[in-house]
Amino acid sequence: MKKLTFLFLMCLASMGAMAKSVVFTLNDGTKVYYLLGGDTNPVLRFVDGKMVVDADAYELSQIKNFFISNEDDPNGIEEVLSKQNVQFRANTLVINSPKVKSVKVYTLGGVAVEADVTKLGDVISVNLNGLEKGAYIINVGKSSLKVMKK
Protein backbone atom coordinates (compact mmCIF):
# COMPACT_ATOMS: atom_id res chain seq x y z
CA MET A 1 0.00 0.00 0.00
CA LYS A 2 2.85 2.41 0.73
CA LYS A 3 4.16 1.90 -2.82
CA LEU A 4 0.72 2.68 -4.27
CA THR A 5 0.42 5.83 -2.15
CA PHE A 6 3.93 6.90 -3.18
CA LEU A 7 3.16 6.25 -6.86
CA PHE A 8 -0.05 8.27 -6.60
CA LEU A 9 1.77 11.18 -4.94
CA MET A 10 4.48 11.08 -7.62
CA CYS A 11 1.80 11.26 -10.33
CA LEU A 12 0.27 14.27 -8.59
CA ALA A 13 3.62 16.00 -8.35
CA SER A 14 4.48 15.34 -12.00
CA MET A 15 1.14 16.72 -13.22
CA GLY A 16 1.82 19.99 -11.40
CA ALA A 17 -0.24 22.93 -12.53
CA MET A 18 -1.96 20.99 -15.32
CA ALA A 19 -3.93 18.73 -12.96
CA LYS A 20 -7.33 20.03 -11.93
CA SER A 21 -8.85 16.99 -10.26
CA VAL A 22 -8.45 13.41 -9.10
CA VAL A 23 -11.20 11.23 -10.59
CA PHE A 24 -12.39 7.90 -9.15
CA THR A 25 -14.50 5.67 -11.37
CA LEU A 26 -16.59 3.34 -9.22
CA ASN A 27 -17.74 -0.09 -10.39
CA ASP A 28 -21.28 1.22 -11.02
CA GLY A 29 -19.88 3.82 -13.46
CA THR A 30 -20.19 6.79 -11.10
CA LYS A 31 -17.31 9.25 -11.36
CA VAL A 32 -16.27 11.10 -8.22
CA TYR A 33 -14.15 14.24 -8.63
CA TYR A 34 -11.83 15.82 -6.05
CA LEU A 35 -10.57 19.21 -7.17
CA LEU A 36 -6.84 20.01 -6.94
CA GLY A 37 -5.00 23.28 -6.62
CA GLY A 38 -7.35 25.16 -4.32
CA ASP A 39 -6.72 26.23 -0.75
CA THR A 40 -7.05 22.61 0.39
CA ASN A 41 -6.17 19.60 -1.73
CA PRO A 42 -7.67 16.17 -1.04
CA VAL A 43 -5.69 13.88 1.26
CA LEU A 44 -5.56 10.28 0.03
CA ARG A 45 -4.81 7.43 2.46
CA PHE A 46 -5.11 3.65 2.40
CA VAL A 47 -6.51 2.31 5.69
CA ASP A 48 -7.67 -1.27 6.43
CA GLY A 49 -8.38 -2.17 2.80
CA LYS A 50 -10.12 1.13 2.09
CA MET A 51 -9.09 4.17 0.10
CA VAL A 52 -9.92 7.22 2.20
CA VAL A 53 -10.14 10.65 0.56
CA ASP A 54 -10.68 13.35 3.15
CA ALA A 55 -13.81 12.13 4.99
CA ASP A 56 -15.02 9.81 2.19
CA ALA A 57 -14.07 6.12 2.33
CA TYR A 58 -14.28 3.64 -0.56
CA GLU A 59 -13.72 -0.10 -0.37
CA LEU A 60 -10.92 -0.88 -2.79
CA SER A 61 -13.24 -3.40 -4.44
CA GLN A 62 -15.68 -0.49 -5.22
CA ILE A 63 -13.09 1.39 -7.29
CA LYS A 64 -12.72 0.43 -10.93
CA ASN A 65 -9.90 2.95 -11.53
CA PHE A 66 -8.67 6.40 -10.61
CA PHE A 67 -6.70 8.98 -12.53
CA ILE A 68 -5.53 12.57 -12.59
CA SER A 69 -7.56 14.81 -14.91
CA ASN A 70 -6.85 18.23 -16.37
CA GLU A 71 -10.59 18.99 -16.31
CA ASP A 72 -12.86 20.07 -13.48
CA ASP A 73 -15.97 18.16 -12.49
CA PRO A 74 -18.28 18.45 -15.53
CA ASN A 75 -21.29 18.49 -13.19
CA GLY A 76 -19.85 21.21 -10.97
CA ILE A 77 -21.94 24.24 -10.13
CA GLU A 78 -20.79 27.30 -12.08
CA GLU A 79 -23.57 29.73 -11.27
CA VAL A 80 -26.67 29.56 -9.06
CA LEU A 81 -30.05 30.75 -10.30
CA SER A 82 -31.59 33.65 -8.39
CA LYS A 83 -34.68 32.94 -6.27
CA GLN A 84 -36.68 35.46 -8.32
CA ASN A 85 -36.44 33.20 -11.38
CA VAL A 86 -37.45 29.97 -9.61
CA GLN A 87 -40.81 28.84 -8.23
CA PHE A 88 -42.26 25.56 -6.98
CA ARG A 89 -45.75 24.48 -7.96
CA ALA A 90 -46.59 21.14 -6.30
CA ASN A 91 -43.75 18.81 -7.41
CA THR A 92 -42.85 20.96 -10.42
CA LEU A 93 -39.97 23.38 -10.51
CA VAL A 94 -40.71 26.39 -12.77
CA ILE A 95 -37.71 28.38 -13.97
CA ASN A 96 -37.86 31.63 -15.93
CA SER A 97 -34.53 31.73 -17.76
CA PRO A 98 -34.06 33.13 -21.28
CA LYS A 99 -31.68 31.60 -23.83
CA VAL A 100 -31.33 28.23 -22.06
CA LYS A 101 -30.46 25.37 -24.43
CA SER A 102 -30.31 22.40 -22.03
CA VAL A 103 -31.75 21.22 -18.72
CA LYS A 104 -30.31 18.14 -16.99
CA VAL A 105 -31.08 16.56 -13.63
CA TYR A 106 -28.41 14.78 -11.55
CA THR A 107 -28.30 12.99 -8.22
CA LEU A 108 -25.89 14.44 -5.67
CA GLY A 109 -23.51 11.65 -6.72
CA GLY A 110 -23.39 13.09 -10.24
CA VAL A 111 -25.52 10.43 -11.94
CA ALA A 112 -27.88 11.81 -14.62
CA VAL A 113 -31.54 10.92 -14.09
CA GLU A 114 -34.56 11.23 -16.37
CA ALA A 115 -37.04 13.95 -15.45
CA ASP A 116 -39.98 15.38 -17.37
CA VAL A 117 -38.65 18.72 -18.67
CA THR A 118 -40.88 21.08 -20.67
CA LYS A 119 -39.68 24.33 -22.24
CA LEU A 120 -42.13 26.96 -23.45
CA GLY A 121 -40.40 30.18 -24.48
CA ASP A 122 -38.34 31.41 -21.52
CA VAL A 123 -40.22 29.21 -19.02
CA ILE A 124 -38.86 25.77 -18.17
CA SER A 125 -40.85 23.27 -16.09
CA VAL A 126 -39.13 20.33 -14.42
CA ASN A 127 -41.64 17.79 -13.11
CA LEU A 128 -40.11 15.89 -10.17
CA ASN A 129 -43.02 13.41 -9.75
CA GLY A 130 -41.13 10.55 -11.45
CA LEU A 131 -38.07 10.90 -9.20
CA GLU A 132 -37.46 9.17 -5.89
CA LYS A 133 -37.33 11.18 -2.67
CA GLY A 134 -33.97 12.88 -2.22
CA ALA A 135 -31.75 15.78 -3.27
CA TYR A 136 -30.98 16.62 -6.88
CA ILE A 137 -28.90 19.12 -8.85
CA ILE A 138 -30.68 20.69 -11.80
CA ASN A 139 -28.37 22.19 -14.43
CA VAL A 140 -30.05 24.91 -16.44
CA GLY A 141 -27.58 26.05 -19.07
CA LYS A 142 -24.54 27.21 -17.10
CA SER A 143 -26.51 27.65 -13.88
CA SER A 144 -27.27 25.02 -11.27
CA LEU A 145 -29.85 24.62 -8.58
CA LYS A 146 -30.08 22.11 -5.73
CA VAL A 147 -33.58 20.83 -4.93
CA MET A 148 -35.02 18.37 -2.42
CA LYS A 149 -37.94 16.12 -3.34
CA LYS A 150 -39.89 15.01 -0.29
* Per-residue pLDDT tens digits for 81-136: 555 577 777 788 888 877 677 788 888 888 888 888 888 888 888 888 888 888 88
* Per-residue pLDDT tens digits for 15-51: 444 557 778 888 888 877 777 766 667 787 888 888 8
Claim to verify: residue 84 and residue 142 sit in the same structural domain: yes
Enclosing domain of residue 33: 2-69
Claim to verify: residue 65 and residue 83 sit in the same structural domain: no
> Tell me, what CATH number does 93's domain have?
2.60.40.350
Claim to verify: residue 144 and residue 83 sit in the same structural domain: yes
- Annotate 30-77 with DSSP letters as a single string: -EEEEE-SSSS---EEEETTEEEETTEEEEGGGEEEEEEESS--TT--
Is residue 74 in some structural domain? no
> Tell me, what CATH number does 16's domain have?
2.30.30
Across the range 54-66, mean pLDDT stands at 81
Claim to verify: residue 92 and residue 55 sit in the same structural domain: no
CA distance 86 to 93: 7
CA distance 132 to 9: 39
Claim to verify: residue 106 and residue 65 sit in the same structural domain: no
Claim to verify: residue 46 and residue 97 sit in the same structural domain: no
Is residue 92 in some structural domain? yes
What pLDDT sits at residue 16? Answer: 46
Q: Which residues of 5-39 are buried (b: 16+ CB within 10 A; e: fewer)?
A: eeebeeebeeeeeebbbbbbebeeeebbbbbbeee
The total number of structural domains in the chain stands at 2
Tell me which of 41, 69, 97 is where a domain ends.
69
